[in-house]
Amino acid sequence: MSTPHLQGNAGDYAPVVLMPGDPLRAKFIAETYLENVRCVNELRGMLGFTGTYQGVPVSVQGSGMGQPSIGIYSYELYNFFGVQSIIRIGSAGGIDDAVQLRDIVLGMGISTNSHYAAQYNLPGTIAPVASFRLLRAAAETADARGIPVRVGNLFSSDLFYDDADSLAEWRKMGVLAVEMESVALYLNAARAGKEALTICTISDCPLRKEYTSAEERQTGFTQMMNLALETVRNL
């Protein structure tokens, strides 16, 4: 069953999908880590692949940048392709003073300036949270493999260039890092009765003017990739 954004049929995607923002990162993961790989999506250049990792079926699908883009792709995967769990693997900007470049952060909860949740007409404010099963599996896998991780709140922003320069205010509330996708992913998962988790590598610390390169963001965050794949294997 093709959609306007994903080609293919039911069964083309595994029950668990890793979702980087960059489709070239999806290609890198598929070619580097997966066996019996086939490309299942090329529409709009948003590459998707399905294969196995140590015998476990897994897919990797690019999401693009921002809530609207990941909102579309994760919605279609959950509701039209039978996907049960999506693990976002992306980059984030460190906000908390203790967070350093290349740290790995697990998004337990999401704060946001997005109005994505307005569509549900809720009589209050929802707190989007990760699947505890996925979060626990990722934390336990990291501990078993000796990978340091930080677990906490992320700020999912609609803005990359924020004229109000508000990140310092979110830091006051203990937010670890800023990114641009997770609130839509977590809300789509909640509405569909499915699972979601964000695993991010810190690519920059904007309040300290510290940055990694574009090349490293595309192919260099291999510890995060390994953690996500091992988490899937341990589910």
Query: Could you read off the pLDDT of 14-62 as tens digits, one per residue?
Result: 999 999 999 999 999 999 999 999 999 999 999 999 999 999 999 999 9
Confidence of residue 66 (pLDDT cuts 50, 70, 90): very high
Confidence of residue 9 (pLDDT cuts 50, 70, 90): confident
Q: Any idea what the CATH number is for the domain that residue 84 is in?
A: 3.40.50.1580
pLDDT of amino acid 13: 97
pLDDT of amino acid 163: 81
Domain contains 192? yes
Average pLDDT estimate for 163-189: 95
- Judge whether residue 165 has pLDDT over 90: no
* Side-chain half-sphere CA neighbours of 110 within 13 A: 31
Average pLDDT estimate for 123-145: 98
Classify strands 16-19 and 56-61 as parallel, antiparallel or unpaired: parallel
pLDDT of amino acid 214: 77
Higher pLDDT, 219 or 229: 229
Average pLDDT estimate for 10-15: 93
- Judge whether residue 4 has pLDDT over 90: no
Let me know if 204 is a catalytic residue: yes
pLDDT digits (tens, 9 = 90+) for 82-119: 999 999 999 999 999 999 999 999 999 999 999 999 99
Classify strands 149-156 and 177-179 as parallel, antiparallel or unpaired: parallel
Distance CA 135, CA 196 (A): 9
- What is the share, in percent, of the chain residues with pLDDT greater than 70? 99
Place of tokens 């079926």: 57
pLDDT of amino acid 6: 94
Domain contains 3? no
Domain contains 196? yes
pLDDT digits (tens, 9 = 90+) for 67-91: 999 999 999 999 999 999 999 999 9
Domain containing 84 equals 16-234
Q: Which of 198, 209, 208, 230 is nearest to 97 (CA)?
A: 208
The rounded mean pLDDT for the chain is: 95
Instruction: Give yes or no for a contact between 154 and 182, defined as CB atoms under 8 angstroms apart.
Output: yes
Instruction: Please report, for residues 95, 100, 171, the alpha-carbon distance to residue 210 in angstroms, rounded to integers and kept in the order given.
Output: 11, 9, 16
Query: What tokens does 221 get?
Result: 């965050």
H or E stretch at 58? strand 56-61
> What ranges in the chain are assigned the alpha helix state H?
23-33, 67-80, 132-144, 167-172, 182-192, 214-219, 222-234
Domain contains 184? yes
Instruction: Please report, for residues 61, 100, 116, 174, the alpha-carbon distance to residue 107 in angstroms, rounded to integers and kept in the order given.
Output: 19, 16, 18, 13
Average pLDDT estimate for 62-67: 97
Total domain count, the chain: 1
Residue 196: φ, ψ to 5°: -150, 150
Of the residues 22, 96, 103, 204, only one is catalytic, namely 204
pLDDT of amino acid 218: 65
Domain contains 158? yes
Domain contains 62? yes
Domain contains 21? yes
Average pLDDT estimate for 214-228: 85
Instruction: Give yes or no for a contact between 39 and 27, defined as CB atoms under 8 angstroms apart.
Output: no
Domain contains 90? yes
